[in-house]
Structure 1
Amino acid sequence: MHLLPTQAEDLLASPQAEDLGQTPADCVLLSFSDSDLSSVAAAYHALGDVPWRPTLRLANLMRLGHPLSVDLYVEAVISRARLVVLRLNGGTGYWRYGLEQVAQTCKARGIPLAVLPGEAKADPGLDAAGTVDQTAARRLWRCFVEGGPENTARFLAETAHLLGRQPPATLLAGEPTPLPRYGRHETWRAPIPVEGPPAALVFYRSHLQAGNLAPLHALADALARRGLAPRLYYVASLKEGPAAQWLAAELAALRPAVVLNATGFSARQGPEDSSPLDAPGVPVLQAVLSTGTEALWEKARAGLGPADLAMTVVLPEMDGRLQGPAIAFKAAADWDPALEYAPTLSRPRADRVDALADKAAAWARLAATPPAERRVALVLSDYPARGGTGLALGLDTPASTLAMLAALAGAGYGVAGMPTDGAALMSALRRPLDGDAPGLSLGDYARLMDPAALAAITDQWGPPEADPLARGGALRFRVQPCGNLLVAVQPSRGQGVLDSAAHHDPDTPPSHGYAAFHLWLRHVVDIHALVQVGAHGTLEWLPGKAVALSADCWPERLAGPLPVLYPYIVSNPGEGVQARRRLGAVLVGHLPPPPVPAGLHGDLAALEQALDEYAQAQSLDPRRLPTLRARIRDLAWEAGVTRDLNLPADLVTGDLPDEALARLDAHLCDIKEMQIRDGLHVFGATLDDGAQAAFLAAMARFPRRDRPALTEALARDLGLGGTLEDLFTGDAAPPGPIPCRLC
């Protein structure tokens, strides 16, 4: 398996000690949520300079992650406050030291402390840390849960009341006014008239509560400029049953061309549940609203920090969402001297917003184009150092490519001139390149290629006209036209025969021919989608960020917003995830070839036979033992097993001790039972009965963690010796008659 290397960066750095420099105030509000703090700041100023309004300090707990930061803040601000409100996400464990110090100080000085859950669900574990009456604490919490300007103003009135002031009775009457947990956001207006297909945009209710909608409105504007008609929806959480059911019904009725999701995490309640985002049965693109700054993102190869990676990449991809770029980053607004706080807002980055909108428009274009008119490229990899054209892990690529073409033809795609068999296809793709082969002229290549990227390739590989694919003023490619579809060989990303390390090089730009090939597909052939046939190509391994790519990352430079579909072996998810995260690819899993036991052959088979004879001779004919030991020694040396296991031997005779013979026997058993692939899988082909049985037997043969293998567990339940496999292969005799249920 290959992993994109990352380096220790500021994104991954531990919290640093800092002094927030705040002075004391009547009330202190601490929260992990910028939305909480921004909405309270807005409500504070909306009240005006009324006499009952307390002085207030706001601080984000992310800035108090270091113990020294906590100590400084507690001494300078908390210890002199008259009321402290602490809102914690995830319980006590997320800010344990800080909670302990704040609670200890407030208790020692008699300062009222309210510790509130950061979620819409009560957390009894936090109640014991607070000193404010539970009824009053619950009212404060409800103000945040319901959200909105009215409830935020009520929160300030509640804090004033706890401080002994006299806010208007109207602000304290009744219960906090509920803001709907989900709904349509209908205040956005399209910048231009739009008559195209709808596109759904789903985001968190907290953005609405805080009024921090700029990234979402910017994305909606970009979608409208591309002919899509955005419909905006907000939810408190996709895991809240009523919200999920409502949104699923809304999306199913809307029938959008594409869904864009700006919420985090997985939306499934369990492995068997579906996400409400999947209700319309269209692609779901994940928009990332980063909690980091734009400056950190720009210089970080990792792209996102651990929290963003988990919330907006890893967990959403469990639902099958297609990864999009980071469209917004946190930035501090102007310093507020009254609160001694600079609100942190999520601000859109225009080129990343456009990149996501382009990707949404590309998927919508694919859906809107009739199958007979869709242009699709089926691309085979080229690994000369490991077997050549079409090499893919566990996949018969020539047969699979023809099977895909046949399936697409059956679905109404414009397939014509399909090769008769795999050999004919590979022969066509291996024809020597000449001046008549399809290609991109050197002039068009220079026009389409980003100047900085062109310069980087030239510095590495020389001028375009010196590229191995240059013929007759163009960079030419190995292509087999099949009507509106084509089959092509992805050029080498370098020059000459490349080894595996070069194919996965995170620093070296691709060759001119490689870059030109992908530009030709997008801008000359104007394909609607690219199908990378088998694991794996090299596009997802080009230099750039690991996730949340920029316009300067090579996968985006070459693939752009193109929809990518990727038949990929299911047993290699670690590499497949790179295509999902760096190309936004749809991975279509295929089975590996049926596994079979490796068995023993040649010298190893002879060695096993000698060991078996030695075991029998120990009781039946001890006189043969010296001869057999010598034979075992010689065979082990000839087969290289002695060196592999670093077996000890007598320095004079070279004989192997009994302990070495036992290790040798165990090693041969491991090799014999090792699972190897039997042939290659053909995409879409159903396994025959024998292959299915072999597959199931292989799965049942291995233990899982602390559980025995299925065959062993069944044998134990039936009172048999060994395993069921031993029984039916004749390697072990049953203790009695075979149970009738197995006959």
Structure 2
Amino acid sequence: MRILYIHSLMFHQRTWRRVVDRLKQDGIDLRLVDQAAAAGVIGAPETGGIDLLVADLAVGMPGFDRLLEAGRSIPHRMGLSHQIPGDFTTFGMDTASEFRQYLSAVGLDAFESLAWVLRQMKMAGYDVGAAPKTGREIRDAIMSRKAVAEFRWTTVDEIVRKGGALHLMDEAEYAPWFNALAEPSRLKVLEDWDAFPGQGMSHKDNGKDVLVITGIRYGNIRIMAQPKRGCYGAKRTGEVCRILHDPALAPPHHWLATYKYIQDHSDAVVHFGADGALEYLPGKQVGLSDACFPEISMGE
């Protein structure tokens, strides 16, 4: 079976290479093409005999109309984008919807995936302490301790009281690291969030301002929810709730303190779940420098 998958965005070649190689074992030939390069693919002699076309096209990208027209010559078609006419897809709506969810990883259980990894690590000899054996137990442990950087349904004091704090970082620990950041980045944080401790996830510990780093620990494993990118306050207004994906907004002190803690206490970092906010921070996405906030967050 030959499948042509056209997407309006660039494919992550390394990830999809594994998918392609695995499907070949089952006799499925999957070819991946981004929309900008696909105009010369459909109808070319070497692509004859395509059994299924999967099209996730965008109107604003080159070749949209021509690809739709040429694609109708392929007997089995599935349009994933809402911009593609409904009659383009030759499958039932339920099948198309399920396929779209499958490709976008909707419905995956991140907690259960994490539990599986912990079980494998324990069998391999890693120290995972008394880590829960199921995803539900991990979730319940996080929620019972309120081990998340949240403020709408709880308070920072309650997080500390219930055991959701991995660490309390004071200014004496944070300031030397923060002051060593590239000057443009450091000044941007101060401009957007003021001086330490900034806004949100701060707590008084013996009279000192500290930032609460949340999570739970089992042996050498720390399970942490990603800190908030830039939303602080109960009201969802422009004054206290900053846009999650704003490319010009620096991450707050609590975000930076959390990732400093991760750098100081981790040999490896594994991200579970959907995409996070790390890749949307100000700075370049390739060829990062020490002034780019993704690089600042994860370190060298």
Instruction: Please tell me the residue identity of whatever aligns with 2:191.
Output: D
**Distance in 2 between the 1:475 and 1:511 partners?**
11
Structure 2 counterpart SS, 1:555: helix
CA contact (8 A) 1:544 1:552 kept: yes
CA contact (8 A) 1:507 1:543 kept: yes
Aligned-residue offset at 1:420: 4.8
Query: Which of 243, 248, 256 is equivalent to 1:515?
Result: 256
Instruction: Please tell me the residue identity of whatever aligns with 2:170.
Output: S
CA contact (8 A) 1:503 1:538 kept: yes
TM-score by length of 2: 0.51
Residue-by-residue CA offset, 1:435-475 (whole Å, 9 max, x unaligned): 76222222211111226334322221233224321122321
Query: Which of 379, 384, 395 is equivalent to 2:108?
Result: 395
Match of 2:171 in 1: 442
Structure 1 counterpart SS, 2:131: coil
CA contact (8 A) 2:166 2:217 kept: no
Structure 1 counterpart SS, 2:160: coil
Instruction: Please tell me the residue identity of whatever aligns with 2:243.
Output: A
Query: Which of 420, 423, 429 is equivalent to 2:142?
Result: 429
Aligned-residue offset at 1:2: 11
| 1:323-722 alignment runs, 5 A limit | 393-430=106-143, 431=146, 432-434=158-160, 437-439=165-167, 440-449=169-178, 450=181, 452=183, 453-471=185-203, 472=205, 473-496=209-232, 502-523=243-264, 525=265, 527-561=266-300
Q: How many residues align?
A: 174
CA contact (8 A) 2:198 2:253 kept: no
TM-score by length of 1: 0.22
CA change 1:481–1:418 in 2 (3 A) is: same
CA contact (8 A) 1:464 1:470 kept: no
CA contact (8 A) 1:475 1:513 kept: yes
CA contact (8 A) 2:166 2:216 kept: no
Structure 1 counterpart SS, 2:286: coil
**Distance in 2 between the 1:420 and 1:441 partners?**
34
Residue-by-residue CA offset, 1:360-412 (whole Å, 9 max, x unaligned): xxxxxxxxxxxxxxxxxxxxxxxxxxxxxxxx843212211111111111222
The answer for unaligned runs of 5 or more in structure 1 is 4-267, 273-391, 562-743
| 1:243-322 alignment runs, 5 A limit | none
Structure 1 counterpart SS, 2:283: coil
Residue-by-residue CA offset, 1:526-583 (whole Å, 9 max, x unaligned): x11100102211112211113111111111111122xxxxxxxxxxxxxxxxxxxxxx
Instruction: Please tell me the residue identity of whatever aligns with 1:556.
Output: E
CA change 1:544–1:2 in 2 (3 A) is: farther
CA contact (8 A) 1:446 1:454 kept: no
CA change 1:504–1:489 in 2 (3 A) is: same
CA contact (8 A) 2:231 2:244 kept: no
CA change 1:417–1:461 in 2 (3 A) is: same
Instruction: Please tell me the residue identity of whatever aligns with 2:188.
Output: A
**Distance in 1 between the 2:227 and 2:106 partners?**
18
**Distance in 1 between the 2:276 and 2:177 partners?**
23
Structure 2 counterpart SS, 1:448: helix
Instruction: Please tell me the residue identity of whatever aligns with 1:513.
Output: H
Residue-by-residue CA offset, 1:257-286 (whole Å, 9 max, x unaligned): xxxxxxxxxxx9xx87xxxxxxxxxxxxxx
Aligned-residue offset at 1:513: 0.7
| 1:5-84 alignment runs, 5 A limit | none
CA contact (8 A) 1:491 1:513 kept: yes
**Distance in 2 between the 1:502 and 1:421 partners?**
34
**Distance in 1 between the 2:132 and 2:210 partners?**
26
Structure 2 counterpart SS, 1:503: coil
CA change 1:426–1:412 in 2 (3 A) is: same
**Distance in 1 between the 2:275 and 2:257 partners?**
20
**Distance in 2 between the 1:553 and 1:475 partners?**
22
| 1:145-184 alignment runs, 5 A limit | none
Instruction: Please tell me the residue identity of whatever aligns with 1:531.
Output: V
Instruction: Please tell me the residue identity of whatever aligns with 1:441.
Output: D
CA contact (8 A) 1:429 1:489 kept: no
Between Structure 1 and Structure 2, whose CA radius of gyration is higher? 1
Q: Select the structure that is richer in helix.
A: 1
Structure 2 counterpart SS, 1:408: helix
CA contact (8 A) 2:289 2:295 kept: yes
The answer for unaligned runs of 5 or more in structure 2 is 1-6, 10-16, 22-104, 147-157
